Amino acid sequence: MTLAVYGRQIACTVGSLGPAGPDWFDIWPTPSGSPWVRAQRSPVGYRIRYEGRADFFVDPVGETIGCEPFDCPEPMRRHFLLDQVVPLMLSVDRVVLHASSVAAPGGFAAFIGRGGAGKSTIALALARAGLAIGSDDGLLIEDGVATPSYASVRVWNDSAALAASPACNSDAPRAAKLQYREGFRFAADPQALSRLYVLDPDPCPSIRFEPIAPRDLVITLVEQSYRLAQDDRDALTRQLDDLTRLARSVPAWRLSSPRRLDAWHELSRAVIDHIGGIAFEVA
């Protein structure tokens, strides 16, 4: 299988990866602290384990991935690969933000925030207003240039009212996100990252844009970046340096809103007005 993502063609094979070593470190634990996604270093890359689901072997230099599924249906495996494993692989020597984004005059506007803050929903709302989606989960940044991931956006069922077409996985369980690949424009080419919005997860009576100082933005960027090489002090130092430069070079605002789906039109207009230079259209 070949994955077309981040402007690359990444080869992925399925088969046995051989025995795993004993030394693991956590990437994403469960809320209770038990292992969920772990990794260990290999001679030419990393082995990433989704507990009880699958192991993935990534070679960051060759940009190839091997997969050994245990109990992992194909749609789940594809989601792991596209939205998590590939960004983790690229994060070894690049910045990959856990961000949604849209193409706007001057470059991409990216939205970051903790899980449930509404990153995908605001991207879907802005796409409904006529903008092209750049990313849903991961946005690759190299020297200030952002590269879109792939043409897809995934939202929970309660945000599906914003979609202009049926979900491509409309038969998915209610506990799963709905995925949309049609009915919206998707950006394909790299552009400068022109602005960042940090989404406030708490409801606010009105829509507000508050500038964020670079030193405060760095903390959020560290929290909202993919990070695989957690056992490599030099790699972590390089990533922190890259994120610090990014925070100093890209203007950022904290975006607060009522967080009501019936207010998406108002929020889309406010964001577009804040970006400037865009004619507002609603589908």
pLDDT tens string 30-84: 888 888 999 999 888 999 999 999 999 999 999 999 999 999 998 889 999 999 9
Tell whether 70 is covered by a domain.
Answer: yes
> Are 69 and 133 in the same domain?
no
| pLDDT at residue 175 is higher than 70 | no
DSSP code for 83 = I
Q: What are phi and psi of 235, to 5 degrees?
A: -65, -40
For the whole prediction, is pTM greater than 0.85?
Answer: yes
- Is the same domain home to 17 and 139? no
How many residues comprise the chain?
Answer: 283
d(CA 24, CA 27): 10
**Residue 244 phi, psi (nearest 5):** -65, -45
φ, ψ for residue 98, nearest 5 deg: -80, 90
Q: In whole angstroms, what is the distance from residue 271 CA to residue 105 CA?
A: 13
Residue 281 lies in a domain: no
CA triple 63-67-69, angle to 5 deg: 160
On whether both 23 and 137 belong to a single domain, the answer is no
Q: Is residue 123 part of a domain?
A: yes
Q: 34, 46 in Cβ contact below 8 A?
A: no
Last residue of a domain, one of 29, 56, 90: 90
* Pairwise CA distance, residues 37 & 27, whole Å: 5
Distance between CA atoms of residues 281 and 277, nearest Å: 13
Same domain, 184 and 205: yes
Q: Distance between CA 47 and CA 38 in Å, rounded?
A: 8
Determine, yes or no, domain membership for 283. Answer: no
**Residue range(s) defining the domain that contains residue 164:** 96-275
The pLDDT tens digits for 215-263 are 999 999 999 999 999 989 999 999 999 999 999 999 999 999 998 878 8
Domain boundary (31, 62, 90) is at: 90
- Final residue of a structural domain among 90, 120, 145: 90
Amino acid at 188: A
Q: Which amino acid is at 43?
A: P
On the question of pLDDT at 85 being above 90, the answer is yes
Supply the pLDDT for residue 260: 84
Q: Answer yes or no: do 119 and 41 share one domain.
A: no
The total of structural domains in the chain comes to 2
Judgement on whether residues 29 and 121 belong to the same structural domain of the protein: no
In a domain, 171, yes or no: yes
- Considering the domain architecture, whether residues 208 and 130 belong to the same structural domain is answered as yes
* Residue 73 shares a structural domain with residue 100: no
If asked whether residues 86 and 116 sit together in one domain, one would say no
Examine the pLDDT at 174 and tell me if it is beyond 70.
Answer: no
- Antiparallel, parallel or unpaired: β 64-69 and 54-59: antiparallel
Is 215 a domain residue? yes
